[in-house]
């Protein structure tokens, strides 16, 4: 209620039927737009719209297969790579440098894919040259890995730049010539 200066009460202004109808129509229009957006996004308003799988099949039919890529996802796949699985064993010495639980003492399972993308990124050749000068080991357990990228560990004390370095777990063993094939390092299926 409103009070006037004399301490009396003024009646609230009444909304006309036209004003009420216009406000309700505006609310209804907004709700209808939201519902239509969800219906369109869900494909209910366009049942003939192609799916991701149909689009990828059409691209493959038009352009053929692409060696080095596989269609195992709806978005068409990704570059073939070297599959790695194992564990990261932390000594705990890096835990004060980072909030990441990965650096607590103990073993953490690891699964990764190292992508083979050299043809698309020729600037990497300079980094790969020293790697190619070394003999190929018989497996991941007897080869050393030094990361090319640096990362920042963040803790309450600040940031520290680091690079990964994984020392071999076994003595080095030279790979046989028949076993050194990029395609054999990871099942492409």
* pLDDT confidence band for 19 (50 / 70 / 90): very high
Residue with tokens 């990261």: 88
Higher pLDDT, 101 or 182: 101
* pTM of structure: 0.34
Comparing C-alpha atoms, which of 82, 94, 80 is closest to residue 165?
94
Any idea which residue has 């004399």 for tokens? 6
Region 142-168: mean pLDDT is: 83
Residues 105 and 95 sit within 8 Å (Cβ to Cβ)? yes
CA separation for the pair 77, 95 (Å, rounded): 36
The pLDDT tens digits of the residues spanning 73-101 come to 444 444 555 566 778 888 888 888 888 88
User: What are phi and psi for residue 124, nearest 5 degrees?
Assistant: -80, -15
């Amino acid at each position: 209620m409103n009070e006037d200066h004399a301490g009396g009460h003024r009646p609230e202004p009444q909304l006309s039927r036209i004003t009420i109808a216009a406000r309700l129509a505006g609310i209804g229009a907004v709700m209808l737009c939201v519902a239509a957006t969800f219906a369109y996004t869900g494909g209910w308003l366009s049942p003939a719209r192609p799916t991701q799988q149909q689009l990828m099949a059409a691209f493959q039919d038009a352009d053929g297969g692409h060696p080095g890529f596989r269609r195992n996802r709806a978005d068409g796949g990704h570059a073939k790579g070297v599959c790695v699985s194992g564990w990261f064993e932390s000594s705990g010495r890096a835990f004060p440098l980072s909030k990441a639980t990965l650096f607590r003492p103990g073993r953490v399972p690891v699964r990764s894919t190292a992508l083979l993308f050299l043809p698309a990124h020729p600037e990497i050749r300079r980094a790969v040259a020293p790697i190619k000068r070394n003999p190929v080991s018989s497996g991941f357990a007897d080869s050393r890995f030094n990361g090319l990228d640096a990362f920042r560990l963040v803790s309450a004390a600040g940031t520290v730049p680091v690079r990964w370095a994984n020392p071999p777990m076994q003595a080095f063993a030279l790979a046989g010539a028949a076993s050194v094939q990029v395609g054999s390092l990871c099942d492409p299926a």
